[in-house]
Every structure is written in C-alpha cells, then in structure tokens.
Structure 1
Amino acid sequence: MPKITKRIVEAAEPREKDYIIFDSDLPGFGVRILPSGKRSYMVQYRAGRTFRRMSLGMHGILTTEKARAEAMKVLAAVQDGNDPAAARDKARHDPTLQELGERVLSDHAEHHCKPGTVVGYRYYLKTYINPRAGKLQVAAITRAEIARLHHDLRFAPVQANRCLQLLSKMFNLAEVWGLRPDGSNPCRHVKKYPEKKRERYLSKQELAKLGEVLRQCELSGIESQSAINAIRLLIFTGCRLGEIMTLKWDFVDLENSALHLPDSKTGAKTVHIGTPAVDALSKIDRLPDNPWVITGTLPGARLTDLQPPWQRIRKRAGIEDVRIHDLRHTFASVAVVNGQGLPMIGKLLGHSQVQTTARYAHLAAEPVKMAADSVATSLRLALG
C-alpha cells in the first residue's frame, strides 16, 4: 500500500472492475480506478457502526495534494463526531429558496390567503426573490444574505419591505415544516426601510372633470360601460377595488341600500351605501346567466382588469397621478370635511383597526379652520 502520488495515480492500470488504492500515510484516503480509466479520489471512514465512503473529486480536476487536504478535513470532522457524507447527502436534498417558495404557494397561500395575496406572492418571488436568492439552500441561508437581498432592493423601498415580509413568512413555515430549527428565522432584526404613506385626494374641480370625462366616454362608447360603472361605484361607495370587481348581484340589497359582502380584506361585512350608489346600481343592466355586477366581454364572466381603461380615463381628465385606490381616499376625505367622525368613517370604509382610519385625522382640521375663519370674520365685522 503506497503513499498516493500523482505518478502512482496516473500509472494505475484500469481493470474489468473498479478498484481502490489506499494511501499508506493517511488511513482512509484513496483513489478509485474505474474500468473506463477515470480516477476518482475518495475517503473512507467509520460513523458509529457504519462505514462510509465519500467522493472528493475526479483526478485532473482535483490534484493529489488538494485531494489529500480535503480528506484530512473530512477525517478531522469525523474525529469531532460529525458525519460529513451524511451532511453532504442531506444538503443535496435540502430545498432551495425557490422550491420553498413554490411549496409556500401550493401548501399554504392557496389554502389560507386571499387570491390577491397569492398573486402578490407570485409576483415578488418571480421578480425579486428568485433571481437574487432562489438557488440558495433554505437550511443554510444566513441573516447576512437576507440583509444583502433587502439592501440590493433599496432603490424600491416598498418592494424591498414586501419581499422581507414574504421571506419572513416563508422561513416561519420552514420551521413548522422542519426545514430549519425553531427560532432561526434569518429575517429577524433586518430593519425595514421607511415608507412614505401616499395621500392623494381629488379636489372638487378634479371630481367635476372626472365626472365630465365619464359622461363623454359613456355617450361616445369609447370605453366599456362596465369600466365606467366600476369607477362610479368606487367613487360613491369608497369600496376597495376587489370588492367592486367581484361584486355579485346576490350581494346587492337595493331595498336596504346595502352591499352584503361575504368576503373582503377584513372578512364578511355589510357596506351601507348612499342614494347615488343605489341609483348607479339600478341603472346597470342585469345580464342573464351572469352573476357579476361588473361584467366582462365573455358570457358569464366579469371584468378582471380595470387598470387599462382607468389609465385612459384619468389621462383625459388630467389626473394622471391618481391611482384607483385614491378614489377610496377621496371618499374618506370628503367624509371628514363634511364633519363625519373617524369612528363613523372607519365603519363606512370597513376598517378593522382604528390606526388605519387615523391617517385621515389631519383632514378634520379643515372644517375647524373654516368655522374659526367664519367666527373671526363675523367678530371683525361687528367691531367695525
């Protein structure tokens, strides 16, 4: 049994069956000679009562000296009570972050989350997470790698924070599924970027212009009636986009001026609506064999995407910076200016938390300012 050198490895003759030449100086280190003539370095050791052989690499790609050094590392790990071959096998079968994402979607999100949330998860995984970290193994991902991914998205702080939230959820589930130890979520202590809450409300002049554009589109037929109906209902009800786009006639109670929504962002709820919303609903044609209020072009289908017509309509109205969700903000702002209290506005909008409605609190100062101005002006006139 000689000491393995490059000369001995290359001089070894292939046989009908593969065989191993073991090293005289480092017990367990050897080179396997295959019938094809290929030579592969390996190390053999005992783990408990089991003998294991672990491949180190092919001769030519790995030098004899490098293979010997790798064998020494493996044997040192065995001396410390570890099983390097088993650890390597486990690592090969450990899921990647991309595979974890797919499991989160199929085993969790599609059963426990709303459809819109699932769409968002798919978007963040495909666009931001998988291209940057999808090939990393779940069990080995560190906080530094998560922090680096988050930092790489600093140009889009909102998207960076949403990715961090999704990753944290994924690693929590990885712990539940036994893919990581309990309490090892690498997203912990990674600080989110500050987000500026966008506040955009339509003025009376902008609302008037939008109303004029909607009437023009209706008369000319350049936009679908369904899109126009949806926009009017969003303005008059303050509902979320998904609540109007998935509204069925079975949910509409015109007699009691209400929409009974079986499912929303905050669960089942009743939306009380005013006369303009009732009138708008009354004017919408109910199509046979179509349960949806906002109908699509195919029989029995609903309109699924309001963005394209909204972008054209807002451009004609000169309000290109207004998002669809800003119509909901406008509903709330008008309620505040008209003297409605925040608890009432929270009920109108279906908020589950007081903090959500509190973002409109500063608008309540406007009617107070107007009252103060009116009183002071009266006093000034009285003083002469």
Structure 2
Amino acid sequence: REILGEIATGRDPAAVRDTLRRRPTVADLCERYLAEYASQHKKASSCKTDAANIRHHLLPLLGRLNVAEVSRADIDRLKRLVREGKTAADFRTGPRGRARVRGGSGAANRCLALLSKMFGLAEQWGWRPDASNPCRHIARYAERKVERFLSTQELGRLGEVLRARAATVPSAVAAIRLLLFTGARLEEVLGLRWDAVDLERSLLRLADSKTGAKVIYLSAPAKQVLAGIPRLQGNPYVIAGALAGRPLVNLEKTWRRIREASGLPGVRLHDLRHSFASAAAAGGQSLLVIGRLLGHRSSLTTERYAHLAADPIRHANDATAEHIAGALQPRKAESITPIRRPRTQST
C-alpha cells in the first residue's frame, strides 16, 4: 500500500522498494539494543537472558518486520504464541550441554517487558514516532508465585543425601549448603570468588549482584563450608568447575538427582533461598531483617514472607490470651476438712 502511494506521487517503484528494504527491522533493533543499551546498562547475566529471549522468541516471530510497522496486534500475537509454547525447544549446546526453551505466561511476560523497552528506545533513536510504542495497553498474564519452603523433615532428608554425595560431587554439595546457609541467589554462589570472602569478618562482599553491591553475612555453618573447600591454584572461583580456572556453571543436573534421592520432586534451587527466609521468619525475625538478609532492594519484595513472619507473633498472641483466659476462669471452692478434737477420757 505504501509503495502504491509513493508510485502515485511519481516516485520510482524500485527506489521506493530499496528505501523500504533499508528500514530497520526488529532484528536490527534487537542487535542495537544489545550492543548499545544492554551491554552498557545491564549486568552480564541480564544481558545473557535478554539475548536468549531475543534469539528464541523475538526473532522467530518478529525479526523480519520493519520496526516502524510493528502493531499492537503483532505484539499480542507474540505474547499468545510464547504462552502457548510455540517457540519452545530442546536442543544440545555442546558435547555435554543442553538447553531447554520453555513457553508459558512467565516467558510471555518477560518478552513483553523486553519489547516494551526496545520499542521505547526505537522512539528515542528515531525509528518510530513518539508515543507509538505498540506494547502500550498490552496486559500481562497473571502469574502464580510459587512459594516452596522445606520443612524440618525435608531438610533432614536433604542433609542425609548431601552427606552421602559429598565425596562424589563436592563442589555441587558445597554450593547447595551455601545456598541453604546464606539465602544467597544461585548466581551469587556460583560466581563467588575467593577475593570476596572475608572469613575474619564473617562476610562475603559482592561487588556485582542482582541488586548491585551487596554484603552477605556468614554464619558458623557457612564458614565451615567455605573452610572445607580447597583453593585450586589458578582458579579464583570458590565453586570450581571442571574447566581449569572456571566456576561451576550448571548445578541443575546434579540438583535434580539430589532432590529425587531426597524425596523432594519439583523443588527448585531457588526454593532453598525461600527456605532460608522461612527459617528466619519462624525464628521471629522481622520483615525488615529478612529483607536485609536476602539483599532485597525494595520492602515490597519481602512482603511475600509476611504470613511467615506473623507466625511467631500469632503463637505469642495465643499463649498470652490463653494465660489471661485461664486467670479469668472461676476457681473451684477449696474443700475444708474440719479439725476433729480429741475425745476426752472419763476417769
């Protein structure tokens, strides 16, 4: 239609086609986003996630479209197809690697957020008119937050398996124990370097976590785990991988075996962080303290543990009320035994 309009004004059709072909596509937008924005403003792990979403979801569905012509209907269609798993895949990434690309509501929402940012930048770069972001008014899918906390019995079973596997997969077992004892994120433990460990002050000083610079406090059990990890020459990482000088990059395969042996199907590594928060709440710690322990930037993130933090208060409330209720109960009349006087003997 645009070509016909240009021809009607007297322009050369071939020149019009060349102009349209030179217009930036969504693939061009993705490339520029990664090179000029993500690499400058986002952490390496976030850049990697964005690149994966672009490669697996955005490019197959939108890559060839001109940036200026992407409509709200195109975005809505992508959101629906990703949710339905149309872009899901399972493939090898090397001799020992495997990648699973999943769809679902969460993946669709992340793609929508990424596209919204990219089309906002497209407006700044002059690739779309101002206030034309096609992601506006596209509602995100509702996601059910899965909160899984290990019970005392489940922790006991996990502990037995960890002790049994310590000799065969020591790095993986050490990583899992650190997750449990610190409440740290998985990437924080796997990316931990020895120069960030301060055993004397019982601290981990992370220069680059998900929420920026962060301090993790080390308990006695956490320090014991770290003290038992050998420092490999030439490897700066605490949780060493199979490759020289590199960290362990994938704990999922080993974790799946450990959780199955522990009778914990479906429990994710991230649930160990939730379990740490649950234990803190059960111990009477406030939401403020729990948020500081977990390194939450916003108190809203910690609100998911509000029902757990209320448990000690609820127990104290019950005990106090029961004590008062007991005091209000009528006392039973004390039975009085009359004193019998001794009989006097007649003489």
Quick one: structure 1 residues 74 and 373, their matched pair in 2 at CA, closer, same or farther if it must change by over 3 Å?
A: closer
Q: 1:174 aligns with which of 119, 122, 131?
A: 122
Change (3 A) 1:168 1:282: same
Percent identity (aligned): 50
Residue in 2 that maps onto 1:357: 302
Q: Secondary structure at the match of 2:138?
A: coil
Match of 1:190 in 2: 138
Aligned to 2:312: 367
Q: Which amino acid aligns with 2:139?
A: K
Contact 2:70 2:134 in 1 (8 A): yes
* Cα distance, 1:110 vs structure 2: 2.5
Cα distance in 1 between the residues matched to 2:309 and 2:194: 35
Matching residue within 341, 345, 358 for 2:290:
345
Q: Does 1:207 align with 2:155?
A: yes
Q: How does 1:213-228 map to 2 (within 5 A)?
A: 213-219=161-167, 221=168, 224-228=169-173
Matched, 1:319 2:264: yes
Which whole-Å deviations, capped at 9, do the CAs of 1:299-354 have from their partners, x for residues lacking one?
22211111111111111111121111111111111111111111111111111101
C-alpha distance in 2 between matches for 1:340 and 1:182: 48
1:144 pairs with one of 73, 78, 82: 73
Secondary structure in 1 aligned to 2:212? coil
Instruction: Indicate the structure whose relative CO is greater, using CA pairs within 8 Å and at least 6 residues apart.
Output: 2
TM-score (norm: length of structure 2) = 0.83
Counterpart-to-counterpart distance in 2, 1:320 and 1:374:
36
CA distance in 2, matches of 1:204, 1:75: 75
- Separation in 1 of the partners of 2:81 and 2:245? 45
Classify the secondary structure of the residue corresponding to 1:360: helix
Gaps of 5+ in 1: 1-55, 57-69
* C-alpha displacement of 1:118: 1.7
Specify the alignment match of 1:125 in structure 2: 54
Kept in 1: contact 2:6–2:16 (CA 8 A): no
> Which residue of structure 2 aligns with residue 335 of structure 1?
280
Q: CA deviation at 1:205?
A: 0.6
Q: Is the 8 A contact 1:346 1:357 kept in 2?
A: yes
Find the aligned partners of 2:234 and 2:196 in 1 and give their Cα distance.
16
AA partner of residue 315 (structure 2): M
Contact 1:260 / 1:271 at 8 angstroms: preserved in 2?
yes
- Tell me what 2:101 maps to: none
Report the secondary structure of 1:331's partner residue: helix
Correspondence 1:252 to 2:197: yes
- Residue 213 (structure 2) aligns with: 268
- Cα RMSD of the aligned pairs, angstroms, is 2.1
CA distance in 2, matches of 1:187, 1:159: 15
Q: Mean alpha-carbon deviation: is it higher for 140-149 or for 174-183?
A: 174-183
CA distance in 1 between partners of 2:16 and 2:133 (Å): 21
Give, as a single letter, the amino acid of the residue that structure 1 aligns with 2:148: R
1:284 and 2:232 matched: no
CA 1:289–1:380: 2 relative to 1, 3 Å: same
For the pair shown, the structure with the greater C-alpha radius of gyration is 1
Q: Which residue of the partner structure matches residue 246 of structure 2?
A: 301
* Cα distance in structure 2, aligned partners of 1:277 and 1:83: 73
Higher deviation after alignment, 264-273 or 172-181:
172-181
| CA apart distance, 1:377 | 5.1
1:77 touches 1:84 (CA, 8 Å); kept in 2? Answer: no
Describe the superposition over 1:15-68 as per-residue Cα deviations: whole angstroms up to 9, x where unpaired: xxxxxxxxxxxxxxxxxxxxxxxxxxxxxxxxxxxxxxxxx9xxxxxxxxxxxx
Q: How many residues were matched structurally?
A: 308
Which whole-Å CA distance do the structure 2 matches of 1:261 and 1:114 have between them? 13
Secondary structure of the structure 2 residue equivalent to 1:263: strand
Letter paired with 1:129 = L
